[in-house]
Chains A and B, each alone.
Chain A
């Protein structure tokens, strides 16, 4: 544990930028896409895949690999380019994104995309998948950790709390839930639509160890992931405070950009804006 060195921090920030730029590019292929909920998660995805997860892209079925479940499956557009970049498949395949017969839909399908640890899309399910994976590791004495990323509005789903209750009950300390606390659902601010706070207290009362961080700081993300590895006989939740649409001013905290499509002129402008923002 400790501070990231400058080189590693720069590398992770560059990978987060890569996620955002690829999200722009792939959305253009699809004609519309989930920009803002992917931008909020860019640093978390980068820190997980380029720093934290124990993976071997040559062996996607390796039993002792760490698992990542993207419960907020609509951010798959940001995950596919990472998997391609790591060598799970040829990046050229991404050109088919969402087109007829593509392996790459708006939500990830594990039977079609190498490197996806579980299919997702129906919100509220992913944490239960993570509970099962962690139990599976325990039963088989396999040394892997399970990371589940959920959206903040997704916490409205009842099954999340069934899963949270069982993870606390079984003391699943190999399980880490990351809440992308990007503040918005589709219809508005979470606290207006259906309040999710106080998230810390809620998880604490279910038997979880809780951390709350700036979800756009790769230092804080990496630090929190390290802390979550300390043995505690408790599952861990990292509440990552983020900004939906992070990096593109017109999209930040604007519900109208949950799903959108930039015009060709705006596309260039946003592309330049992201590059200029670069690694923050």
Chain B
């Protein structure tokens, strides 16, 4: 993983977690600067693809779609939505540190026919702003797109106030809300493009902004609600989402070296869930493991468990994520290693739980 001492610890790719320059989170970094630096990941071929491409992508889309407006809550640099502001200043609103007002005002904007993309830390979007998303966006059917970035524990040693390990559980319970997690910048671009033709509110859960590449290019066949099978296999299916897709692919590589045949599903859309692909995994592979940077309560794992139960499918199954606890303080990479949410950890968990043959 990256050993660049100037990198933000919250890029989460430092195995030993030595990065200490936390201020980078708020300054953000341009796409170009990030691309120049690049990074490598130990054990897994990886190229850093900055995931905070929303500002740039939306600015491109807004050249052709005048419905797009962008809002943030004093985090325009951290989430790079400032890249949108630079090109469309009249369509950008910094709402200050007032997330509830931002989300509800987004709903008001949407009611006039616009498509607002509102971005802030997932802890303040999905947790602080829960009622505004539910009551002002989803219930009235407003086309607000919430960009909930720095989700999970990716804000590292900022601590639990800044972690969002419960947002999927909350969002998944909201009717008329699409809930999806971007695995990398290329997939995020596809999601943003697809979102323009979609009615109703969308909660987009994003990672730390420097997620390693999963998709070499923007997936043209992206469709909300239809999982992407990244690997096929017989022994076990790893169903993952968002920031854990890359680690799951790495785990699949490590497991295949040991002779396991692993299917990897990118369940980017948590709601509506791709039930068909879950049922197929249960029927066609010998075990199912879900992997998510979220509490094991209420998120992807619970969603998959519900499908297995509803369809009375008997298959060895395990939910891997964060147990019912507030996680330790530490640099993200150290946390991922500790909670076995890096490639090595995921591989170990899968092997322990799903020993076959």
Name the distance in Å between B76's Cβ and chain A's nearest Cβ. 15
Contact with B along A89-133 (1 / 0, CB 8 A): 000000000000000000001110000011101100100111111
Contact with B along A157-179 (1 / 0, CB 8 A): 01100110110011000000000
B261 on the A face (CB < 8 A): no
A118 and B98 within 8 A (CB): no
- Bound Cα distance A63, B112 (Å): 7
Name the distance in Å between A157's Cβ and chain B's nearest Cβ. 10
A132 and B90 within 8 A (CB): no
The listed residue (A125, A136, A162) touching B112 by CB distance below 8 A is A136
A140 on the B face (CB < 8 A): yes
Name the distance in Å between B319's Cβ and chain A's nearest Cβ. 33
Given contacts A136-B113, A139-B91, A165-B96, contact A129 B69 (CB under 8 A): no
B141 and A111 within 8 A (CB): yes
Given contacts A119-B139, A135-B93, A140-B112, contact A166 B104 (CB under 8 A): no
- Bound Cα distance A1, B136 (Å): 36
Task: With CB as the reference atom, state the residue of chain B lying closest to A132.
Answer: B108
The listed residue (A132, A139, A163, A169) touching B106 by CB distance below 8 A is A132
- Bound Cα distance A136, B110 (Å): 8
Given contacts A111-B141, A166-B98, contact A137 B131 (CB under 8 A): no
A142 on the B face (CB < 8 A): yes
B141 and A122 within 8 A (CB): no
A131 and B101 within 8 A (CB): yes
**Residue of A133, A162, A170 with most chain B CB atoms under a 10 A cut-off:** A162
* Residue numbers in A under 8 Å from B139 (CB-CB): 109, 119
* Residue numbers in B under 8 Å from A158 (CB-CB): 100
* Residue numbers in B under 8 Å from A63 (CB-CB): 112-113
- B-side interface size class: 20 to 34
The listed residue (B105, B114, B116, B141) touching A140 by CB distance below 8 A is B114
Interface residues of A in 149-196 (CB under 8 A from B): 158-159, 162-163, 165-166, 169-170
B111 and A118 within 8 A (CB): yes
- Bound Cα distance A166, B112 (Å): 18
Given contacts A111-B140, A119-B140, A165-B96, contact A136 B132 (CB under 8 A): no
- Bound Cα distance A66, B47 (Å): 52
A133 and B112 within 8 A (CB): yes
The listed residue (B90, B109, B132) touching A133 by CB distance below 8 A is B109
* Residue numbers in A under 8 Å from B107 (CB-CB): 118, 128-129, 132
Given contacts A139-B91, A166-B96, contact A125 B132 (CB under 8 A): yes
**Residue of B105, B108, B139 with most chain A CB atoms under a 10 A cut-off:** B108
Name the distance in Å between B87's Cβ and chain A's nearest Cβ. 15
B256 on the A face (CB < 8 A): no
A129 and B111 within 8 A (CB): yes
Name the distance in Å between B277's Cβ and chain A's nearest Cβ. 31
- Bound Cα distance A110, B109 (Å): 15
Task: With CB as the reference atom, state the residue of chain B lying closest to A158.
Answer: B100
The listed residue (B101, B105, B114, B131) touching A122 by CB distance below 8 A is B131
A132 and B111 within 8 A (CB): yes
Task: With CB as the reference atom, state the residue of chain A lying closest to B110.
Answer: A132
Task: With CB as the reference atom, state the residue of chain A lying closest to B88.
Answer: A139
* Residue numbers in B under 8 Å from A119 (CB-CB): 135-136, 139-140
Interface positions of A (Cβ within 8 A of B): 63, 67, 109-111, 117-119, 121-122, 125, 128-137, 139-140, 142, 158-159, 162-163, 165-166, 169-170
26 pairs, CB–CB < 8 Å, chain A vs chain B: A63-B112, A67-B111, A118-B111, A125-B104, A125-B136, A128-B100, A128-B107, A131-B101, A132-B104, A132-B108, A132-B111, A133-B108, A133-B109, A134-B108, A135-B109, A136-B114, A137-B112, A139-B69, A140-B114, A142-B112, A158-B100, A159-B100, A162-B101, A163-B104, A169-B96, A170-B93
- Give 17 A-B pairs besides A125-B104, A128-B104, A136-B110 with Cβ atoms closer than 8 angstroms: A67-B111, A109-B140, A117-B111, A119-B136, A121-B135, A129-B107, A132-B104, A132-B108, A132-B111, A133-B109, A134-B108, A136-B113, A139-B91, A140-B112, A142-B112, A165-B96, A166-B95
